Structure 1
Amino acid sequence: MREQYQQKNDQLYVLLISVHGLIRGEALELGADADTGGQCTYVLDLAKALAEHPQIGKVDLLTRLIQDPKVSEGYAQAEEILSEKARIIRFPCGPRRYLRKEALWPHLDQIVDRCLHYLRHQGRLPDVIHSHYADAGYVGRQLSMLLGIPQIHTGHSLGRPKQERLLSSGRKAQTIEKQFNFERRIAEEEALIQHASLIVTSTRQEVELQYGMYTHPDPKRFRIIPPGTDTSRFLPPDRKHVSPTVEQSVGHFLENSKKPIILCICRPELRKNLKGLVAAYGNNEALQRRANLVLVAGSREDIRTLDKSQAAVLTELLLDIDTYDLWGKVAIPKNHAQEDVPEFYRMAAKSRGIFINAAFTEPFGLTLLEAGACGLPVIAPDDGGPRDILANCHHGLLVNTLDSTAIGDTLLSALTDRPRWRKWAKSGVINVKRHYTWAGHVNKYVKEIRNLLRRQRKNLRKQQITLHSGKSHIPLAQHAFITDIDNTLLGDRAGQEALVAWLRENAGYTIFGIATGRPLESTMDILRKNHIPIPDVLITSVGSEIHYGLRRIPDIGWANHIRHQWRRDDVLKAMEKIPGLRLQSAENQREFKISYLVDTGKIPSMEHITQHLRKQGLHAQVIYSHGEFLDLLPVRASKGHAIRYLSYKWGLPLTNFLVSGDSGNDIEMLVGDTMAVVVGNYSEDLAHLKGSTRIYFAEASYAHGILEGMQHYKFGTPAAEKEHDAVLLTER
């Protein structure tokens, strides 16, 4: 790799990815919907804390750009500065409007592509990619594979345990699948467990019980690094007065506002078990006499305008309050700001109350730390993170949140033992600071990154891989050379060796790719037999597949793109009526390619075949080459389309691509804005291209013809580099 791609210093660049929810640097709208909660706080605090560490040079938090009149204009801001070394980067993904996370899956490839453009523009690749939740995990995994950068993943919550708990609570499998898209989510989580270099969790229980529900998790990949709490904001009431505004927002609901407060702060979603909490309170008269219940369940103006699932939870909540006749005993403030959250904790602590997290399942439980730091004891689910938190902080009790009677009894017990309450309050303040700070989290985090990168470099040396840090150089390369194999790259040993020497001389600056009708396995075999370096990009099966490098990383975005209108089985059946065709061997048949051998005396014209398919409502691209082969591909698939897709995906102009070929299935990649080279031994089906703009017909054959074309275009030489820079300056 050239010196221009070397890092200027040893400071790390971390790319954080958190796709869903409403994320901004200040005044987080926590509880605005089911997707804007603890994870948003976590990633923002992590980004800011990382930026404070001396070994971190840059932190980007990648999320979704939203243009929706229903939300703040700030979410449409492409870049938001968090600090000198940290910022939020927003990319469009799918419709402009806000979408819940379950609806984002079909659009995530757009973020992958836009991130590649962004990295090319800034001229530096991250050292690690850290994804948060399964949707960002998909984006991170694609980027990790494409770029050769290690991925760190934090699940925040996992599909399998959540699915199991919802089923245990009586929900129907079909209903929850429709709402939560568990099949796609769990499949991605399984893939992440196998791919991610590190999986950061908050508790040991999360590793053993929750990830233990998945297929063969590797214990060596897990690191337990609990998140921190901002103890400058979350303080006990004796160190900061409670806001009168917050007290008023609660007090006007209550008949006797001087009673202790049972406080719950959560988003209005089924998993949070607000229904079970109200039942626990409503069925326990002693608890009602002892304390008020305050439910801070997001913000709302009109329940009827909320997301359907949120509206259902809040409507059910109000009906239950009415059923149990709890008016005057329960407060449900309509709105609150992010800065009000510590005030709610302090208000409850001042009243000698208790905080309750009644969720069915809780991977960590950040609110338990926030409450503890404010001197407020807690009751929490006997599941997931709360077990570890209470074992460290000793500031409350665990309860089976599937049992509403147990919730009520535990709350009453916690509120009636005053000496124990005071012990819990003091213990929470001390132990949150001792065990859960962001500075401590980041110190462990950076140490793990350093160890990870050290192991990666060691493995690369063992494998004798010479690429800089194992990263792909595609995002930073300035030119691309794509060639057919048979009768173009191969065919003359001396020319082939001269071209290989050119490739080695230009490694790092120029992307090397092949575009062939061969399937992937055959392509790899023939390249190895002829001692051709493994290309950066492999376009195989006549452009219907794209893979990258030695590890043959598939381009999932390309497969999703060309799947449009492709009905393989129906096309096969329709082609049975066309004479003069015989299917090629099984190894030449692919998901997106049907290949035939042709009897030229019997086969009708290509136009006839195309019309035959169209009459049956079928769409396929018909490619005839060398007078003996016929390939049918999806309408979006071909060598030419694949090269244009690569240009878009990696942000490299088509004018910077040099392509070479010899036959009819190369036509699409030879025409247009590329620098095209037709080798001297070309077949007659290319003769009509002579005289076309930007298509050079070489006199030399095979690889010598490619080298002749490169000299014609001054491709890969210092002169070409200067000429390219001059063109860029002119365009600006």
Structure 2
Amino acid sequence: MKVLFLNPQGNFDKNDSHLTEHPDFGGQLIYVKEVSKELANLNVSVDIVTRQIIDPNWPEFSKKLDYFDTTQNPTIVRIPFGGEKFLNKELLWPHLKEYVGNILAFYQNQKIDFVTTHYADGGYSGVLLKSKLGVNFSFTGHSLGAQKMDKLNVSHENFEDLDKEYHFSQRIMAERLSMKYASKIIVSTSMERYEQYSHPLYADVSEVENDSKYKVIPPGVNTEIFNDDLTDLDQETVAQIEKKLNKQQKPFIILSSRLDLKKNHISVVKAYANSKDLQDKANLGIFLRGIPDPFTDIHKLSENERSILTPILEEIEKADIKDKVYFFDLKSQLALATAYKFFSKLKSVFVLPSFYEPFGLAPIEAGACGLAVIATKNGGPSEIFSDGSGVLIDPEDIQDIVEGLIKGLNNYDYFSKKVKKRVLENYTWKSTARGYLEVIEGGVKLPKKTIEKVPSLDAKEIIIDFLKNKKI
């Protein structure tokens, strides 16, 4: 059985190049990689179909075909479209018809049994492919444009300016079409289904009350990497950390998300800076990628990342806590997992203070390595940790963050044991892949129907009408 994963943005290679260094190289890529690998282990022939990039700044993605390992399943298929240079995901929209046209040419003599699509651009590509071949597809949104609009406080007055930057007109229409024509919408939690897909911008196409339209499949943890067993393979990263710590043995509060405004690092830094109790109990550890010392290397980051990191550094200096805050340069998933394991031996806690988190893969990875978990109450974590295996916090309440961190540190043994059990019983990529296989096998049995005419990729009128009638 041949299954395609459509993922036009970002890219893939065996070294996880640029992962978390760029907004297009976030958790979605880990998700696609891990699910595809586990599906391959279930004897499904899997191709991840992404973009060929021939750009000296992105040399890892120039080969037409690539692989994660010697099994050559999954295969990474890089389709040329939109020119040769790297393009941010917001700039791919005009080129997706070319992407699908070149997919059709590449697979012209092969049978495609099913397609799984990821993010809005992948979903729209699935719609275009269905319009030509009739092949059924699933849609995994990962995050949706309507929620981003709400978080950015998009209004009728500022919509035109924000649309130029974020391309909401294209994204919302791509999502609407994906929801309408997908044989199955895959969500990480039931909360995601009922809260996100019921948004007024989707309500007429998302069929949120139709159980046959949705399947809840939680993401998982690669337990071969994320576990609490330090081995010889971890020694290089351990040595790097120990050198920086210089024999200091206090627990740590760990922040490891990429630098993104919605991840809300600053609130944890403020909580720590304003709590003598926290400072006495633990140090603060912030994981970065590519810059060992942000105080001297910040110029190496993008303008957006600098705008997030600068207030953090200012807060640290203002509170005079530079001796209690450590920055770690971790360049891969393996190094990240090693750091989690190392800090779990110091009875440390992991914190995810996002304003909203659709699921929350990072906290279950950290939990699998033995860290106690403190996470935002907004979104997926409230479902994941509904059994009390993690501490839920209000990301906009500094005092609540302080109290949550203290609770995790004071009760480390309890939370560490409980979250490890929770992850191993409920959140592995093997179980995620089995969920996908059920969707695939169901989709293959459905009749193939082409789409007569795909509407233009423009939801501007729909959005403006929504904004005009929106209750403030």
Query: TM class by shorter-chain length?
Result: 0.7 to 0.9
Aligned-pair CA distance for 1:404: 2.5
Whether 2:134 is the aligned partner of 1:148: answer yes
What is the aligned partner in structure 2 of residue 234 from structure 1? 226
Structure showing greater radius of gyration is: 1
Could you say if the C-alpha distance between residues 86 and 368 of structure 1 is closer, same or farther in structure 2, counting changes exceeding 3 Å?
same
Partners of 1:63 and 1:91 within 8 A in 2: yes
Moved more, 381-390 or 254-263: 254-263
What is the aligned partner in structure 1 of residue 112 from structure 2? 126
What is the aligned partner in structure 2 of residue 41 from structure 1? 30
What is the aligned partner in structure 2 of residue 196 from structure 1? 182
Deviations 1:456-494 (A, max 9, x none): 23xxxxxxxxxxxx367xxxxxxxxxxxxxxxxxxxxxx
Could you say if the C-alpha distance between residues 180 and 291 of structure 1 is closer, same or farther in structure 2, counting changes exceeding 3 Å?
farther
Whether 2:203 is the aligned partner of 1:215: answer yes
Deviations 1:245-292 (A, max 9, x none): 434544566688311111111111111111222112112221112111
* Secondary structure at the counterpart of residue 63 of structure 1: strand
Structure 2 residue corresponding to 1:85, chosen from 54, 61, 73: 73
Whether 2:217 is the aligned partner of 1:225: answer yes
Deviations 1:97-128 (A, max 9, x none): 222212222222221111111111xx123111
Partners of 2:137 and 2:443 within 8 A in 1: no
What is the aligned partner in structure 2 of residue 287 from structure 1? 278
Alignment of 1:8-19 (within 5 A): 12-19=1-8
Q: What do you get for the CA RMSD once the two structures are aligned?
A: 2.5
Could you say if the C-alpha distance between residues 206 and 175 of structure 1 is closer, same or farther in structure 2, counting changes exceeding 3 Å?
same
Q: 2 CA distance for matches of 1:261 and 1:16?
A: 38
* Secondary structure at the counterpart of residue 81 of structure 2: coil
Aligned-pair CA distance for 1:33: 1.1
What is the aligned partner in structure 1 of residue 432 from structure 2? 441
Aligned-pair CA distance for 1:387: 1.7
* Secondary structure at the counterpart of residue 325 of structure 1: coil
* Secondary structure at the counterpart of residue 197 of structure 2: helix
* Secondary structure at the counterpart of residue 12 of structure 2: coil
Partners of 2:3 and 2:115 within 8 A in 1: yes
Q: 2 CA distance for matches of 1:308 and 1:138?
A: 30
* Secondary structure at the counterpart of residue 190 of structure 1: helix
Could you say if the C-alpha distance between residues 368 and 221 of structure 1 is closer, same or farther in structure 2, counting changes exceeding 3 Å?
same
What is the aligned partner in structure 2 of residue 70 from structure 1? 57
What is the aligned partner in structure 1 of residue 147 from structure 2? 161
Partners of 1:254 and 1:329 within 8 A in 2: no
Q: 2 CA distance for matches of 1:111 and 1:81?
A: 20
Whether 2:98 is the aligned partner of 1:107: answer no
The code of the aligned residue for 2:433 comes to: V
Structure 2 residue corresponding to 1:315, chosen from 277, 301, 310: 310
Deviations 1:128-175 (A, max 9, x none): 11111112122121112221011201011111223323439xxx7676
What is the aligned partner in structure 1 of residue 462 from structure 2? none
Aligned-pair CA distance for 1:319: 2.5
What is the aligned partner in structure 2 of residue 553 from structure 1? 453
Whether 2:244 is the aligned partner of 1:276: answer no
Aligned residues with identical type, % of pairs: 31
The code of the aligned residue for 1:154 comes to: T
Structure 1 stretches of 5 or more lacking a match? 1-11, 458-469, 473-550, 560-732
Structure 2 residue corresponding to 1:29, chosen from 11, 18, 37: 18
The code of the aligned residue for 1:444 comes to: G
Structure 1 residue corresponding to 2:395, chosen from 397, 401, 412: 401
Alignment of 1:468-507 (within 5 A): 470=448
Structure 2 residue corresponding to 1:388, chosen from 383, 387, 396: 383
The code of the aligned residue for 1:283 comes to: N
What is the aligned partner in structure 2 of residue 53 from structure 1? 42
Alignment of 1:237-256 (within 5 A): 237=229, 240=231, 243-250=234-241
Could you say if the C-alpha distance between residues 342 and 51 of structure 1 is closer, same or farther in structure 2, counting changes exceeding 3 Å?
same
Partners of 2:51 and 2:78 within 8 A in 1: yes
* Secondary structure at the counterpart of residue 212 of structure 1: coil
Q: 2 CA distance for matches of 1:321 and 1:253?
A: 18
What is the aligned partner in structure 1 of residue 463 from structure 2? none
Aligned-pair CA distance for 1:403: 2.0
Alignment of 1:287-436 (within 5 A): 287-300=278-291, 302-391=297-386, 394-417=388-411, 421-436=412-427
Partners of 1:264 and 1:357 within 8 A in 2: yes
Aligned-pair CA distance for 1:28: 4.2
Does 1 or 2 have the higher relative contact order (CA < 8 Å, sep 6+)? 2
Whether 2:105 is the aligned partner of 1:117: answer yes
The code of the aligned residue for 1:127 comes to: D
Q: 2 CA distance for matches of 1:294 and 1:242?
A: 22
Could you say if the C-alpha distance between residues 552 and 244 of structure 1 is closer, same or farther in structure 2, counting changes exceeding 3 Å?
closer
The code of the aligned residue for 1:269 comes to: D
The code of the aligned residue for 1:74 comes to: E
Q: 1 CA distance for matches of 2:87 and 2:64?
A: 18
Moved more, 35-44 or 252-261: 252-261
Aligned-pair CA distance for 1:45: 0.7
What is the aligned partner in structure 2 of residue 514 from structure 1? none
Partners of 1:255 and 1:329 within 8 A in 2: no
* Secondary structure at the counterpart of residue 306 of structure 2: helix
Structure 2 residue corresponding to 1:135, chosen from 121, 128, 134: 121
Q: 1 CA distance for matches of 2:99 and 2:32?
A: 18
The code of the aligned residue for 1:376 comes to: L
Could you say if the C-alpha distance between residues 384 and 332 of structure 1 is closer, same or farther in structure 2, counting changes exceeding 3 Å?
same
Q: 2 CA distance for matches of 1:362 and 1:176?
A: 22
Q: 2 CA distance for matches of 1:300 and 1:414?
A: 29
Q: 2 CA distance for matches of 1:428 and 1:412?
A: 17
Partners of 2:130 and 2:449 within 8 A in 1: no
Could you say if the C-alpha distance between residues 180 and 556 of structure 1 is closer, same or farther in structure 2, counting changes exceeding 3 Å?
closer
Q: 1 CA distance for matches of 2:396 and 2:20?
A: 23
Could you say if the C-alpha distance between residues 190 and 391 of structure 1 is closer, same or farther in structure 2, counting changes exceeding 3 Å?
same
Aligned-pair CA distance for 1:209: 0.7
The code of the aligned residue for 1:309 comes to: N
What is the aligned partner in structure 2 of residue 579 from structure 1? none
Q: 2 CA distance for matches of 1:114 and 1:284?
A: 57
Aligned-pair CA distance for 1:356: 0.6
Q: 2 CA distance for matches of 1:449 and 1:175?
A: 40
Could you say if the C-alpha distance between residues 174 and 423 of structure 1 is closer, same or farther in structure 2, counting changes exceeding 3 Å?
farther
Aligned-pair CA distance for 1:40: 0.7
**Runs ≥4 residues deviating over 6 A:** 172-175
The code of the aligned residue for 2:340 comes to: Y
TM-score normalised over the length of structure 2: 0.87
Partners of 1:255 and 1:328 within 8 A in 2: no
Structure 2 stretches of 5 or more lacking a match? 459-472
Q: 1 CA distance for matches of 2:52 and 2:409?
A: 45
The code of the aligned residue for 1:61 comes to: I
Q: 2 CA distance for matches of 1:104 and 1:63?
A: 12
Aligned-pair CA distance for 1:554: 4.4
